[in-house]
Structure 1
Amino acid sequence: MQTFSGIRFRVLAMSSAALLIFNFQLSAQELASQPYQSLPLGAIRPEGWLRDQLLTMRNGTTGHLDEVYAKVKNDNGWLGGKGDGWEETPYWLDGAVPLAYLLDDPALKSKVAAYINWTIDHQRPSGYFGPLTKDEREKGTQITPENCSAGEDWWPKMVMLKVLRQYYEATGDNRVIPFMTRYFQYQAAALKNCPLGKWTEWAQSRGADNVMMAQWLYGFTKDKFLLELASLIESQAFPWSSLLGGRSWVMNAAAQQNKDHWMQRHAVNVGMALKSPAINYQRTSDQKYLNDLKTGFSDIMNLHGLPMGVFSGDEDLHGNAPTQGTELCAIAEAMYSLEEIIAITGNVYYMDALERMTFNALPTQTTDDYNNKQYFQIANQVQISRGVFDFSLPFDREMNNVLGMRSGYTCCLANMHQSWTKFASHLWYAAPDHGLAALEYSPNVVTAKVGESQTPVTISEITNFPFDDQIHFELKTSRDVAFPLQLRIPAWCREAAILLNGKKVQSVTGGQIATLKMTWKNGDRVTLSLPMEVSTSNWGRNSRTIERGPLVYALKLEEKWEKAVQEDEGEYFSVYPKTDWNYGLLQQVVANPASSLTVRTVKPVGKNFVWNLAHAPIEITASARKIPAWKAVAGVAYQPVTDREGIYKGAVSPEVETITLVPYGFTKVRIVAFPVVK
């Protein structure tokens, strides 16, 4: 694949769809060539079910966290008060800002602008920024690189820099680039006296976010000190590239659950760190970093991977048993890392990984109104309840498995908002030769300037994917324009078909990028057909999961919801199954899924879409037998023992039953990793 380097864009129209100009002038010292570049926030407008999801978030905590959550609401430090000056307000803004511009919502834009304006307007003369510190308030101290200890931790500022990046790409506000330049000049000098780990290990463990932002700014200013700063930050941060490539780290994480080096096993840190090798490659062009990334991500998913496409992390990496939990923040951060990795590597492997994680792991962990979240989800989750489970962080108050606004740690209440919003803003990327690439699929409309002539085009992506295998792209342009259109063909698709104006033009096997390079006319219509076949995959404890296309399927269980209140953490919901769950799949299903499984569409993907059982559009039926001895122990469905052939050896019910499965993301209680029986 052809690559290009040093893409620049500037926003031409500040609206729900930004127009782009690409500048291919290269300087003597560039970041490494990369195949793709993110589009500015606002270039993509979500439609269909994805827009419904974002509207739910706007009406829920993403749009109103500052009104319903006291820590962010009261006397906020990022507005000059004495309240939250740590990570939670920037976390929330990191999702609320893209939501405001994806929906072109004036009220939400105004709300987030208050925090952004305060932050920019109150930058100190030295370049330092953030909430007023204790020394500033009580002693009138002026923070400089020489007395940087009067400042506060580097970590929350890393998140706010990501917020400002998105805001700049959406608005072109000319205050942002000088603001960041002054701050990085301050940081370059201050790190000698106040290294990255001076206050906490959080900044050391998450230094890749800081490196990423210094290199992003370098792409605009070409200030050489920014690359020197990036190298300095990397030298003071956890050596994630070496850890990921070294292999012994991920094996030790599977074996150890003690307090030694737990920050290097912490799943949220790992999710953030996945992009570290790619960011280092961007600065150095050293292929070793990409090798480290591939080795590390593969090892994590082999040793800690769960069927829904994410690794265990409750809070630490915790093996691949389907009874282990995953923190919602880990999903949010891993998704964002993959979105950055995709642009830098152009590797379909990571595109497929993002798709699987998004459409399976993500939806299940929040309530329909996006006001409550589950701190840890479990793959085989036969009840959501209070308890002390087999997690590396079990919690004294027993609240880390229930659905509540403040249950578990509230970092996820603040951080969950970036997941859907950043996925929506990374459906398309800028591609070589002034082209566009559709690398993730969902209903949307994208507007950009393309081709040598920089002609504006609008492409409507009309689809119900991932529930439907047909994706239509309708082009609108004021004149004919030549540019390449790239389409990802997922590895799960054996052979895709591409049609142009109803006529088949290509057949493409899965696991690659297809390119249509031609002169496009107004009204051209491309159809991408991605046939979805049923299959089974093998997971922890020799369990089997049923898959179809990008979705994994879980046992459909009737749900009983109970609401309660915990004194410290407030209202929460428990969910229990009303129907039996202790089934094993028949061996013939695994041996021949195509002839043993029946797929049926049970309802259309309609308006006001919600990821819950009532809206699940597809069901799969399978043959199974009950395993009478498989019972929940303290609310956990520990996996039955099988032999190396994967067959459960205990007694099973003589009756063969037909069970119904739905996509995992629509469930709250479920079995997704099944034992196999004869």
Structure 2
Amino acid sequence: MNTLRLLTCLTLIGIIQSPIWAQKKGLKPLAYEEVPLGQIRPTGWLKQQVDVMVKNSTGHLDENHKKIKSDNGWLGGKGDDWEETPYWLDGALPAAYLSGDSMLIKKVLKYVNWTLEHQRPSGFFGPYSKYEKETGKMAENGEQAADWWPRMIMLKILQQYYQVSQDPRVIPFMTKYFQFQLKNLKTTPLVKYTEWAQSRGGDNLMVVYWLYRQTKAPFLLELGDLIYSQTTNWTDLLGGRDWAIQAAYQQNDQKWMERHAVNVGMGIKLPAIYAQSKNDPYYLKSLKTGFRDLMTLHGLPHGMFSGDEDLHGNDPVQGTELCATTETMFSLEQIISITGDTEYMDALERMTFNALPAQITDDFNAKQYFGMANQVEVKRGVYSFSLPFWRGMNNVYGPYSGYTCCTANMHQAWPKFMSHLWYKNAEGGFAALVYGPNQLNATLASGNKVEIEERTNYPFEDRIEFVIKPEKKQRFPLEFRIPSWCEEAIISLNGQELLREKGGNIAKIHREWQAGDQLSLYFPMKVRTQNWGKNSRSIEYGPLIFALKIQESFQKLEHPQEGEYWEILPKSDWNYAVLKKMVDKPADNATLIKKAFPKEFLWNQEHAPIEIVVEGKKLPDWKSIAGVPYQPVTTRNGDYLGPTEEKTEKITLIPFGFTRLRIVAFPVVK
């Protein structure tokens, strides 16, 4: 084992400890500490992405969404007093500070300030409970309070707000509320009001442990144990294996909250969060086992698992709820901080650049409640989902189509990804564990400031340039994840090759840096294929998964209850298989076409900066049934043996995130 790998392993098991984080008792050191919100600024295409969000629904949901707009309970009114307002704020607040948009900052602070200013003497906070509305008295105990769940989201918002503002009100506010929880949870447990709080208690625990790292108050560790004991036992479910297997075939109403994909996306971080307080490898081992089972039995080519709403196996025509993607991304960002495990970094990258953008319109005003991997039409219907919903609106793109939880919750995905482009490492430097154009302005452990500019169009190109600008010469470490799909990365310093590192590892460079140093990462990308459900094949290049480019016809319609929505129908053929020679030698049988990177970046077909052209053949018997392109039956050796057109055609593929209609899991023919 080389020195770099040994250091990485020691870091993961907690042998190397930074004096900043070392604790005499309490929580174990983090593998990587989060960089506070506000110290990372998106640039390039990521800045354009957050600007689109702020200009459109993220910046104006409180004006357009009646549930949030009308007499809002999070401002003391009688309207929304549950999850949708905090869901929106959980994305709008970081988006506001990442973009620097003063109007959105002003908006979100209105809700933050009302919350901080209206905490009850008991410690309870948020919208007024039923007891409070009926009696005019303030809640003094859990029985007089209200659902714990939406307050968990607001705690996440306040944590981010404190990072960016250092507002002295936040720490006492949280301390008082957590004292209220410790006093009342035994008689009014998480499940008292809804099962959602029971399923999602890990989000509550996460903020409890964050506050402990700020204050070291011992009661928070006691509270942590109590919250964990009342939360769905995701640790045993993930480690026990039967859960993931049964979920692949069980779609009834028994224990469905344990199969609900959004609960799963939130729940996977629970073992890692609780592992901070326990010197027992069981928690992280269970997470590793369960996450691999989840992605094996339910994983889809775009990087997410199925969930429509239940986990629903690995068939490419099963749907995934948008909220499940956003919450899984956030869970992985927390798991990365705690474990430092590159497997979770790779998973975060894959779902972010592929699954996420395909389920939201390029203007960030409409979304799909459920999106399919192989999707050849978008229209009203029940499709193959475990939750068809009686209006048949779960597959269309609309601001309010399907359940509106995703209308509010989709906003957190990109801002939180952007705010986790850097982490602090255990030796006083920084680690780039996922990539995208940005600028870091932070303070080193020594107290000196440093600016690091990350110049790249990644994931659409294979090079990333870092310009390092410490305020004076200083020795500190920088770490860089090498994606597992990369066979060997080449790292250069000031134009000279410095080192090479294999994929799946973290490269660490510990040296004296001076202003203007330029570090270059080169991740050679090759076209490759991967096997998926129903013996299908995906075509991949770097972190991007490619899908058939289908001509799309949009039609805007109106639903009496759910408002405007868009149906999308194909204007070109989609029933293609790829050739066996492509699977055997993908790099030799694919033509890569790189276009000029768009000045105005949008997730739509016209702006896709890369195409892959391969040969394919039509399968005349492969037709959709009620809009669903069920996968053709293939033999165990991967070949489709049904009727195939003799003519070989060149077919064009674009990255999955730029599609609304596509085939991404292809049959194979000779």
User: TM class by shorter-chain length?
Assistant: over 0.9
- Which of the residues 29, 32, 44 maps onto 2:28? 32
How far does the alpha carbon of each residue in 1:31-50 deviate from its partner, in whole angstroms, 9 at most, with x for none?
11221011000010000000
- Which of the residues 381, 390, 412 maps onto 1:387? 381
- Kept in 1, the 8 Å contact 2:576–2:617? The answer is yes
The CA deviation at 1:283 is 1.5
Counterpart of 2:60 in structure 1 is 64
Counterpart of 2:49 in structure 1 is 53
The CA deviation at 1:450 is 1.8
Counterpart of 2:651 in structure 1 is 659
- Counterpart-to-counterpart distance in 1, 2:575 and 2:153: 43
Secondary structure, counterpart of 1:197 in structure 2: helix
Counterpart of 2:630 in structure 1 is 638
- Which of the residues 599, 614, 626 maps onto 1:622? 614
How far does the alpha carbon of each residue in 1:181-224 deviate from its partner, in whole angstroms, 9 at most, with x for none?
00000010111221110111000000110111111111111111
Inter-CA distance 25–442: structure 2 relative to 1 (3 Å threshold): closer
What is the identity, as a one-letter code, of the residue corresponding to 1:425? S
- Counterpart-to-counterpart distance in 1, 2:474 and 2:115: 42
What is the identity, as a one-letter code, of the residue corresponding to 1:529? Y
The CA deviation at 1:70 is 0.5
What does 1:112-131 correspond to in 2, within 5 Å? Answer: 112-131=108-127
- Counterpart-to-counterpart distance in 1, 2:145 and 2:265: 27
What does 1:241-640 correspond to in 2, within 5 Å? Answer: 241-451=235-445, 453-601=446-594, 603-640=595-632
Secondary structure, counterpart of 2:524 in structure 1: coil
Counterpart of 2:3 in structure 1 is none
What is the identity, as a one-letter code, of the residue corresponding to 1:40? P
- Counterpart-to-counterpart distance in 2, 1:411 and 1:276: 22
- Counterpart-to-counterpart distance in 2, 1:103 and 1:399: 33
Question: Percent of aligned pairs with the same residue?
Answer: 57
What does 1:3-152 correspond to in 2, within 5 Å? Answer: 3=11, 24=20, 26-145=22-141, 148-152=142-146
What is the identity, as a one-letter code, of the residue corresponding to 2:56? G
How far does the alpha carbon of each residue in 1:225-272 deviate from its partner, in whole angstroms, 9 at most, with x for none?
111111101111110000000000111101100000000000000000
- Counterpart-to-counterpart distance in 1, 2:356 and 2:237: 26
How far does the alpha carbon of each residue in 1:14-59 deviate from its partner, in whole angstroms, 9 at most, with x for none?
xxxxxxxx97164421311221011000010000000101000001
RMSD over aligned CA atoms reads 1.2
- Kept in 2, the 8 Å contact 1:254–1:317? The answer is yes
What is the identity, as a one-letter code, of the residue corresponding to 2:143? S
Q: Which runs of 5+ in 1 are unaligned?
A: 7-21
- Kept in 2, the 8 Å contact 1:5–1:26? The answer is no
- Kept in 2, the 8 Å contact 1:5–1:33? The answer is no
Counterpart of 1:198 in structure 2 is 192
- Kept in 1, the 8 Å contact 2:26–2:221? The answer is no
The CA deviation at 1:498 is 0.3
Counterpart of 1:174 in structure 2 is 168
Counterpart of 2:155 in structure 1 is 161
1:672 aligned to 2:668? no
- Counterpart-to-counterpart distance in 2, 1:66 and 1:142: 27
Secondary structure, counterpart of 2:277 in structure 1: helix
Counterpart of 2:5 in structure 1 is none
What is the identity, as a one-letter code, of the residue corresponding to 2:367? K
- Counterpart-to-counterpart distance in 2, 1:25 and 1:246: 33
- Kept in 2, the 8 Å contact 1:141–1:150? The answer is no
- Counterpart-to-counterpart distance in 1, 2:12 and 2:374: 44
- Counterpart-to-counterpart distance in 1, 2:174 and 2:359: 35
What is the identity, as a one-letter code, of the residue corresponding to 1:107? M
- Counterpart-to-counterpart distance in 1, 2:313 and 2:580: 26
How far does the alpha carbon of each residue in 1:367-405 deviate from its partner, in whole angstroms, 9 at most, with x for none?
111110000000000011110111110010000000000
Counterpart of 1:19 in structure 2 is none
Counterpart of 1:234 in structure 2 is 228
- Kept in 2, the 8 Å contact 1:48–1:607? The answer is no
- Counterpart-to-counterpart distance in 2, 1:478 and 1:230: 40
- Counterpart-to-counterpart distance in 2, 1:202 and 1:321: 28
What is the identity, as a one-letter code, of the residue corresponding to 1:414? A
Inter-CA distance 93–23: structure 2 relative to 1 (3 Å threshold): farther
- Counterpart-to-counterpart distance in 1, 2:449 and 2:252: 56
- Counterpart-to-counterpart distance in 2, 1:336 and 1:25: 23
- Counterpart-to-counterpart distance in 1, 2:12 and 2:501: 24
- Counterpart-to-counterpart distance in 2, 1:470 and 1:541: 35
The CA deviation at 1:307 is 0.1
What is the identity, as a one-letter code, of the residue corresponding to 2:614? A
What is the identity, as a one-letter code, of the residue corresponding to 1:75? D
- Counterpart-to-counterpart distance in 1, 2:23 and 2:291: 33
Inter-CA distance 25–266: structure 2 relative to 1 (3 Å threshold): closer
Q: After superposing the two structures, state which structure 1 stretch, 238-247 or 474-483, moved more.
A: 474-483
Secondary structure, counterpart of 1:517 in structure 2: strand
- Counterpart-to-counterpart distance in 2, 1:126 and 1:607: 54
How far does the alpha carbon of each residue in 1:621-640 deviate from its partner, in whole angstroms, 9 at most, with x for none?
11111000001111110000
What is the identity, as a one-letter code, of the residue corresponding to 2:669? V
**Matched length:** 659
- Kept in 1, the 8 Å contact 2:537–2:665? The answer is yes
Counterpart of 1:9 in structure 2 is none
Q: TM-score, normalised by structure 1?
A: 0.96
The CA deviation at 1:92 is 0.4
Secondary structure, counterpart of 1:460 in structure 2: strand
Secondary structure, counterpart of 2:190 in structure 1: coil
Counterpart of 1:15 in structure 2 is none
- Counterpart-to-counterpart distance in 2, 1:314 and 1:606: 34
The CA deviation at 1:140 is 2.1
The CA deviation at 1:660 is 0.5
Secondary structure, counterpart of 1:284 in structure 2: coil
Secondary structure, counterpart of 1:283 in structure 2: coil
- Counterpart-to-counterpart distance in 2, 1:185 and 1:213: 13
What is the identity, as a one-letter code, of the residue corresponding to 2:665? A
Q: Which runs of 5+ in 2 are unaligned?
A: 1-7
What is the identity, as a one-letter code, of the residue corresponding to 1:605? F
The CA deviation at 1:4 is 9.4
- Kept in 2, the 8 Å contact 1:4–1:432? The answer is no
- Counterpart-to-counterpart distance in 2, 1:428 and 1:139: 49
- Kept in 2, the 8 Å contact 1:274–1:293? The answer is yes
- Which of the residues 214, 217, 220 maps onto 2:211? 217
Inter-CA distance 436–134: structure 2 relative to 1 (3 Å threshold): same
- Counterpart-to-counterpart distance in 1, 2:270 and 2:259: 15
The CA deviation at 1:89 is 0.3
The CA deviation at 1:606 is 2.6
- Counterpart-to-counterpart distance in 2, 1:58 and 1:25: 36
